Structure 1
Amino acid sequence: MIFNLSPVLIPRDDDSSDSVNPDPYGYRPTLSICILFISLFGISTLAHFFQAIYHRKWFFLYTAVLAGCMEILGWAGRLWSNINLPNGNAFTMQIVCTIMAPTPLLAANFVILADIIRRLGDRYSRLRPRLYSIIFLSCDIIALAVQGGGGGIASSSEKTDIVNLGSHIMLAGIVFQLVVIICYMVLGAEFFWRFFHNRPFHRQSADFVDFNKASALDGNMKSLIYALMFNTLCLFIRAIYRTIELSDGFDGKIIETQWLFDVFDAAMVVLAMYTYNFVHPGRIFGKDQVNRPLAMSNSDSTGTLNQEQVQLKSFSELQQV
């Protein structure tokens, strides 16, 4: 794609579309800040790549690693802008990549919460673990597509109305993602409240095994739960900021204030990325291929484990955590 976002081509004090805006940001991206975040994202992304391979948690390759690569591209665009401020390609590269980048990382949270629910007992959850993956990952893909589509429309024309349409679509993608995060946080909070207060839903749990909570909630599991909460909070703060930023427009005060972007976008995503570097789910759940719902039928002609075997297997796994 050839990036060519019209706000870069339209001067701030002139409505004509045939001259170049020498100041698309309202500031020049600071060289040292650009290098700092490229380095931070590069280190975390490389670490996630090797951690995903080591723990065989393959979904981290297309969530955390993908998010890190997109952030690196976005900050490379800002570095490019520091060297050549009026360059439209650099401006569009950074705005599209930094808006879309955290979306894959958010998908990792959906998978991790579903795995935690499987481990602690889905009778405390309003949704089955599988539905968390299906519903929220689908919403994540939709948000990514809408944000990318908006960026593509905005970069495809130099006409102000087309650019505004693209920016509004990008804003819609961010708002949709914010709503998804809120729903996810509410359902997650409800699960943990029900679990700790022993208020299960009155239904037969597909994954339930009557075990001591202390066995499941060891130090590693507690650390992962806190990491999930902190990661989600960081991405939530970042989504609120980007919603306000895009609502204010490309010439708004917020998008023209560099420290706001550095703190409420870049720093939040860095914290979210490094959270799973230090508390990696692979240490708790093991390999992807064994971290799946167990077959729960009492008997199966194909050799599926019966209920008693499943309970013994699940309890044994919990004791090994």
Structure 2
Amino acid sequence: MAPLPSPIHRFLLTWTAFLLLASQAEARDIPCPDPFTDPKNDYCNPLRYIPTTALTAVSFSLILVVGIIQVLSMWRYGAKWMLAMTIGCFTFALGLALRFGLHDDPQSTGIYIVFYLFTVLSPCAFIAADYVLLGRIARAIGCGQYLAISPRRITVVFVSSDITTFLIQAAGGGLSTSGKNNPELALTGSRVFLAGLALQLLSFVIFTIIYALFLYRVYRFRPTAWTQDKGMPWYKNWLSLAGALVLSCIGILIRSVYRTIELSEGFNGPLATNEALFYGLDTLPLFIAIAIYIPFWPGRYGLDAAAAARDMSETTMTDNNQEKKTSQEAAQ
């Protein structure tokens, strides 16, 4: 019996399918007007505007630089479990780079499809990294009991949710693309895509609430843990990393709300056809969500070492208690 494909294989197969569909999306049944005469009313231009080259260059460069710095930070400080975010930086940058192509050929359905899918689906990787980070923080400071879900399970539960919503969005994108000549299929695809975005937003809202409650409970019930790094440099104090995660969550929430409302209006709605809103409510919040980890790279805080030390201490304590109990029983 052949083994099941791994998540990475499924991811690559999904993107391959999108690229194949995009390559087939260029055929048009009706002639298109001059793309630069009146782009706002050009029914062949999915964006309804000509992307600004300067904004594309700035956004692409910034996201790419963040990805490169994260690679260097990972190499120097560790935290390979942040790799999902780093990969997402490069795929997101690639999606933004495709806006150069849309500037030259704004009526290219193929370029638009790949651009849209890369920019919409890449943030799933940012979300997954934040899910993992919370569990690592809770274990490192020994406060996992203040999470609504155990540190190990919270990663599994929410990353599984992220993968599921990613696949739903991918399926919706595939249906929308393949339904070019089938309006009903395209509509079904957009609804599936919207459902995936809405479920992802709901999941992240729940995660953010759990995180907020965790911080409150640690502050309220474990003041020693809250102040354990007092007097340490900011890059060694877990509270600074916790604050970075807060900002990352806010950025992702802003973007998720924007994307959900945008798709609910349709691919040609007022939000989807406004370049300023795309940068202000999507690219900028996501940039903040990932760039915040340049100074506050999780690997600098020794989370893995702290968690391992606590696990060893708890194991030793458990063994000592067991030996003491055995000795008492033998004495009786």
TM range (shorter): 0.7 to 0.9
Q: State whether residues 8 and 87 of structure 1, in contact with CA within 8 Å, keep that contact through their aligned partners in structure 2.
A: yes
TM-score (normalised: structure 1): 0.81
Q: State whether residues 147 and 171 of structure 1, in contact with CA within 8 Å, keep that contact through their aligned partners in structure 2.
A: yes
1:65-144 aligned within 5 A:
65-120=86-141, 121-144=143-166
Note the C-alpha offset of 1:264: 0.4
Amino acid at match of 1:175: A
- Root-mean-square deviation (CA, aligned residues, Å) is 2.6
Question: What SS does structure 2 have at the residue aligned with 1:155?
Answer: helix
Q: What is the alpha-carbon distance in structure 1 between the residues aligned to residue 227 and residue 307 of structure 2?
A: 21
Q: State whether residues 124 and 191 of structure 1, in contact with CA within 8 Å, keep that contact through their aligned partners in structure 2.
A: yes
Q: State whether residues 7 and 163 of structure 1, in contact with CA within 8 Å, keep that contact through their aligned partners in structure 2.
A: no
Q: Does 1:214 align with 2:227?
A: yes
Note the C-alpha offset of 1:165: 1.7
Task: Point out where structure 2 has 5 or more consecutive residues left out of the alignment.
Answer: 1-18, 33-42, 321-332
CA change 1:163–1:291 in 2 (3 A) is farther
1:314 is matched with none
CA change 1:5–1:154 in 2 (3 A) is farther
Note the C-alpha offset of 1:274: 0.6
Note the C-alpha offset of 1:285: 2.4
Q: Report sequence identity in percent.
A: 24
Q: Does 1:152 align with 2:174?
A: yes
Q: What is the alpha-carbon distance in structure 1 between the residues aligned to residue 306 and residue 218 of structure 2?
A: 24
Amino acid at match of 1:34: T
Q: What is the alpha-carbon distance in structure 1 between the residues aligned to residue 311 and residue 215 of structure 2?
A: 25
Q: State whether residues 5 and 163 of structure 1, in contact with CA within 8 Å, keep that contact through their aligned partners in structure 2.
A: no
1:316 is matched with none
Note the C-alpha offset of 1:5: 9.4
Between structure 1 and structure 2, the one with the greater Rg is: 2
Q: Deviations over 1:148-207 (max 9, x none)?
A: 221122222322222222221111111011001110011111111111111x8xxxxxxx
1:185 to 208, 217, 238: 208
CA change 1:194–1:215 in 2 (3 A) is same
Q: State whether residues 29 and 258 of structure 1, in contact with CA within 8 Å, keep that contact through their aligned partners in structure 2.
A: yes
Q: Deviations over 1:243-298 (max 9, x none)?
A: 01000001211111110011100111111111011211111125x58755854797
Aligned length: 286
Amino acid at match of 2:178: S
Task: Point out where structure 1 has 5 or more consecutive residues left out of the alignment.
Answer: 11-16, 201-209, 299-304, 311-321
CA change 1:137–1:124 in 2 (3 A) is same
Note the C-alpha offset of 1:92: 0.4
1:4 to 15, 22, 44: 22
CA change 1:293–1:148 in 2 (3 A) is farther
CA change 1:68–1:213 in 2 (3 A) is closer
Amino acid at match of 1:64: M
Q: What is the alpha-carbon distance in structure 2 between the residues aligned to residue 2 and residue 293 of structure 1?
A: 49
Q: Does 1:31 align with 2:53?
A: yes
CA change 1:39–1:45 in 2 (3 A) is same
1:173 is matched with 196
CA change 1:128–1:254 in 2 (3 A) is same
Q: State whether residues 154 and 167 of structure 1, in contact with CA within 8 Å, keep that contact through their aligned partners in structure 2.
A: yes
Q: State whether residues 126 and 187 of structure 1, in contact with CA within 8 Å, keep that contact through their aligned partners in structure 2.
A: yes
CA change 1:224–1:212 in 2 (3 A) is closer
CA change 1:157–1:295 in 2 (3 A) is same
Q: Where has structure 1 moved over 3 Å in runs of 4 or more?
A: 3-10, 17-22, 210-213, 216-219, 288-298
Amino acid at match of 1:179: L
Q: What is the alpha-carbon distance in structure 2 between the residues aligned to residue 8 and residue 244 of structure 1?
A: 28
Note the C-alpha offset of 1:307: 1.6
CA change 1:290–1:190 in 2 (3 A) is closer
TM-score (normalised: structure 2): 0.79
1:306 to 316, 326, 330: 316
1:255 is matched with 272
Q: Does 1:280 align with 2:293?
A: no
Q: What is the alpha-carbon distance in structure 2 between the residues aligned to residue 269 and residue 130 of structure 1?
A: 26
Question: What SS does structure 2 have at the residue aligned with 1:277?
Answer: coil
2:3 is matched with none
2:327 is matched with none
